[in-house]
Amino acid sequence: MRVDRLQTSALSRRGFLWSAGLGVGATAARVDGAGPGVRVPLKIGHRAAHMNMVGNFDVFRLARRIPGLMGVELQVTAGKPNLRDWDAVRRYKREANRWGMMIPSLAGLWDPGVSILRSPVAGLNLAQAIRAAGFLGSGVILAAFFGENAPDMNREASYGPVVELLRAAAPRAADAGVVIGLENSLSPADNKKLADLVGHPSVKIYYDLFNMARFGHGAEAVGGVRLLGKERICQVHVKNGDRLIAEPGPIDWKAAFEALNGIGYDGWYVFESTHTSESNVIEATTRNIEFLKQHCRMPEA
């Protein structure tokens, strides 16, 4: 596909939903007649890759079997077919509608070998993911960069090009009704600095507390919720490796949910737990959802 064709194809959010017949994303707007004091439902999803369902259109059928699960986070480039194939994009949309599921976000947007820090095609990959997300009604694309692919936030020569890349992509994302969610190995303070340097409401943080611990920021993970605030956190990954989130691990999820309640977070919680089988996906996620619902609350509508 030619780059100029891709770059000029972005429609407004309204245009996407109208042309799609008010598809997947349109159902999330609000509940008509919900008066003061009514809380909107918790938005709970699971990443397809961690359901062992990459490239499998049956992922929504499996998700439908899990009480309380509302959506599936898809991968852009992983699996065959994937979201570089527009026939596959259309089929994923049909299957999501068929099973009454949403596609809140897209992950895995980089082609093999592409890095936000040093690849000239990173901007093209962002544009491709934004286009797919707009068509599917997904509100967030996850832009990941870890370790050596993350900028050094103490050196402008390192973080400056990333800031400029994100500033350039942000208006296209805004036009499609999409937020670019940054998930990385940076500390909460450095994530705040990066988001504030970009300075655009369509570039926020996809917050993964488990990854904060994994990359040496565990002591700051829960406090990072308050530091970043509702205005910077667009989505949250929830996981505890192959254990239930109620079990001991690097993150105190009860405290994490209390912090998220405290900032009025009202976005999606997306599980990224590791599973061994389809039955394990259903059983473990059902129990994880029960724990999440015990400790999370949505702000009043």
Where do the domains of the chain lie?
Answer: 39-295
In this prediction, residues 157-174 reach a mean pLDDT of 98
Length of the chain as a residue count: 301
Q: Is the pLDDT of residue 27 over 90?
A: no
Q: State how far the Cα of 271 lies from the Cα of 280, in Å rounded to an integer.
A: 14
Q: ∠224-191-110 over CA atoms, to 5°?
A: 125
Q: pLDDT tens, 270-300? A: 999 999 999 999 999 999 999 999 999 887 7
CATH class label, 39-295: alpha beta
Bridging pattern class, strands 203-208 and 268-271: unpaired
CA atoms within 13 A on the CB side of 252: 9
For residue 16, what pLDDT band results from cuts at 50, 70 and 90? very low
Distance, CA of 219 to CA of 25 (rounded, Å) = 36
Per the prediction, the chain carries an average pLDDT of 89
Q: Which pTM does this prediction carry?
A: 0.88
Residue 19 has a pLDDT of 36
Q: What is the pLDDT of residues 227-250, one digit of tens each?
A: 999 999 999 999 999 999 999 999
Does 26 or 72 have the greater pLDDT score?
72
Burial of 80 (0-12, 13-18, 19+ CB in 10 A): exposed
**What mean pLDDT is predicted for residues 72-84?**
95
Percent of the chain with pLDDT over 70: 87
pLDDT in tens, 128-137: 999 999 999 9
Share of the chain above pLDDT 90, in %: 83
Q: Per-residue pLDDT for 36 more than 80?
A: no
Q: What is the pLDDT of residue 298?
A: 80
Instruction: State the pLDDT confidence band at 24, using cuts at 50, 70 and 90.
Output: very low
Residue 66 reports pLDDT greater than 90: yes
pLDDT, position 37: 63
